[in-house]
Amino acid sequence: MSYETIAVQISDRVATITVNRPDKLNALNDRVIAELGEAIDNVVGDNSVGGVILTGAGRAFVAGADISELEKHGAVSAKQLAQTGQDVFRRFEYSPKPVIAAVNGFALGGGCELAMACHIRLASEFAKFGQPEVKLGLIPGYGGTQRLPRLVGRGRALQLLLTGEMIDANEAYRIGLVNRVVPSTELLPAANEMVRAILANAPVAVANLIEVVNCGYGATLEDALTLEATAFGLLAATDDKREGTRAFLEKRVARFTGA
């Protein structure tokens, strides 16, 4: 698939995926959702890529699902629409390579949901967050009712979901929705710096961390701890663990191979 609504640029092991419909504030229509799914599958399968930055062109990250398309859906097709988007967002969440959302502007509705499906969220001082679906007679359909309470707690999530209010980047940081707020000119450099800090670590350990945190989150503590111990055991058999521990003892920088 050649991309029409997103741009993908790969530079020195980092893929930057930019949602690129700035005239519609990067609203998620069917094409954007399909292209995002294609892009995340491609970068996950590309050995030259170690991590991903997701951002938006212009003054929005993503201002939600495309309301002009939403208007046409009935009960059956809207459920399918939600499930298709959920599936794509899940592929970002379960990417074994770190995905950082660089939230440059409006992250509303599906945009907030997309950012929440990423592993880490950095926000520019101009970013705005919200789940305004209730104002349209809807609820979030791309995971917002579930990921928002998990990130910020049920009371704060219900406030945002029920009022549909928009909050600024500092408030998003205060409630734990974003990891860090930076000046807009420093957003992409800060995201790059963070992804590169992760890429300096052992890739199999990074992939296992993402899997264990994601899979353990909804499990019982007992099952999640077993999952953690099993992954810990498997990692102990990797070349990277041998290299990492040896490098520490020999007081040198580790050279990880991902094996």
Known catalytic residues are 113, 133
- CA–CA distance, 158 with 174 (Å, rounded to integer): 16
Query: What's the first-to-final CA gap in the chain, in angstroms?
Result: 31
User: Site residues for ligand COA, window 102-121 (CB under 6 A)?
Assistant: 106, 108-109
Which of 89, 133, 157, 238 binds ligand COA (CB under 6 A)? It is 133
| Structure tokens given for 63 | 């201002």
Nearest to 157 by CA among 213, 113, 103: 113
- Contact characters 136-165, ligand COA, x per CB under 6 A: x-----------------------------
Q: CA 92 to CA 52: how far, in whole Å? A: 9
Q: Does 57 bind ligand COA (CB under 6 A)?
A: no
CB of 103 or CB of 212, closer to ligand COA: 103
Burial category of 121 from C-beta neighbours within 10 Å (exposed 0-12, middle 13-18, buried 19 and up): buried
* Count, residues near ligand COA per rule CB under 6 A: 15
Residue 80 dihedral angles phi and psi, to the nearest 5°: -60, -40
Q: Using the rule CB under 6 A, is 66 a contact of ligand COA? A: yes
Place of tokens 């549909």: 164
Per CB under 6 A, the list member of 51, 132, 143, 203 interacting with ligand COA is 132
Per the CB < 8 A criterion, the answer to whether 65 and 142 are in contact is yes
Q: How far is CA 15 from CA 88, 99, 134, in A?
A: 17, 9, 34
User: How far apart are CB 26 and ligand COA at their closest, in Å?
Assistant: 8
The answer to whether 89 contacts ligand COA (rule: CB under 6 A) is no
x/- letters, 27..46, toward ligand COA (CB under 6 A): x-------------------
Q: Which of residues 183-242 bind ligand COA (CB under 6 A)?
A: none
Using CB under 6 A, list all residues that contact ligand COA.
24-25, 27, 63-68, 106, 108-109, 132-133, 136
